[in-house]
Amino acid sequence: MANMKLKETVSSFLKRENAESQPFLLALSGGADSASLFHILLNLGKKFHVAHVDHGWRESSAQEAKQIQEQCEDAEIPFHLLTLKPSEIEGNLEDGCRRARLAFFSHLCEIHGLKAVMTGHHGGDQAETVLKRVLEGASFSALCAMREQSLHQSLLVWRPLLSTNKEKIYKYLESNGLSFIVDPSNDNPTYLRARMRKNIFPYLQNEFSKNISSNLCYIAEQSRNLDFYLEEKLSHYLEHRVKGPFGVLMNFSGHHPFEIEWLLRKWMYQENETLTRTQMQNAVHLLHNHDANKQIPLSNGTLYIDRAYLFYSSYNFLRTSSEEVFLEDGQKIGNWTCSLSKVEQDENLGWKEVWKGTCACSLGEGDYYLKYPSINEMRSSSELLSKWWSKQKVPAFMRQVVPVLMKEGKVVQEFLSGRHLSEIKSDRYLTLTCFLDSQANC
pLDDT in tens, 299-312: 999 999 999 999 99
Do the domain assignments include residue 221? Answer: no
One DSSP character per residue, 381-436 reads SS-BHHHHHHHTT--GGGTTSS-EEEETTEEEE-SSSSS-SS----SEEEEEEE--
Same domain, residue pair 120 and 264? no
pTM of the full structure: 0.80
- β-strand pairing of 428-434 with 242-244: unpaired
Instruction: Report pLDDT for 410.
Output: 86
Instruction: Report pLDDT for 438.
Output: 43
- The tally of domains found in the chain comes to 3
| pLDDT tens-digit readout, 207-235 | 887 888 999 999 999 999 999 999 999 99
Confidence band, pLDDT 50/70/90 cuts, at residue 393: very high
Whether the pLDDT of residue 374 is over 90: the answer is no
Same domain, residue pair 291 and 175? no
Taking residue 199's Cβ as centre, other Cβ atoms within 10 Å add up to 11
5 or 159: which leads in pLDDT: 159
User: 200: domain range?
Assistant: 1-216
Do the domain assignments include residue 39? Answer: yes
User: From the centroid of its chain, how far is CA 342?
Assistant: 46
| pLDDT tens-digit readout, 94-141 | 788 888 999 999 999 999 999 999 999 999 999 999 999 999 988 888
Rounded CA-CA distance 395/397 in Å is 6
Instruction: Report pLDDT for 59.
Output: 78
Same domain, residue pair 148 and 11? yes
Rounded CA-CA distance 273/269 in Å is 6
Whether the pLDDT of residue 439 is over 50: the answer is no
Instruction: Report pLDDT for 52.
Output: 96
Instruction: Report pLDDT for 360.
Output: 87
Rounded CA-CA distance 298/302 in Å is 5
Whether the pLDDT of residue 437 is over 70: the answer is no
Which residue among 253, 285, 313 closes a domain? 313
Instruction: Report pLDDT for 218.
Output: 93
SS3 of residue 64 by DSSP: helix
Give mean pLDDT, residues 389-417. 91
Give mean pLDDT, residues 267-272. 94
Do the domain assignments include residue 233? Answer: no
Same domain, residue pair 158 and 282? no
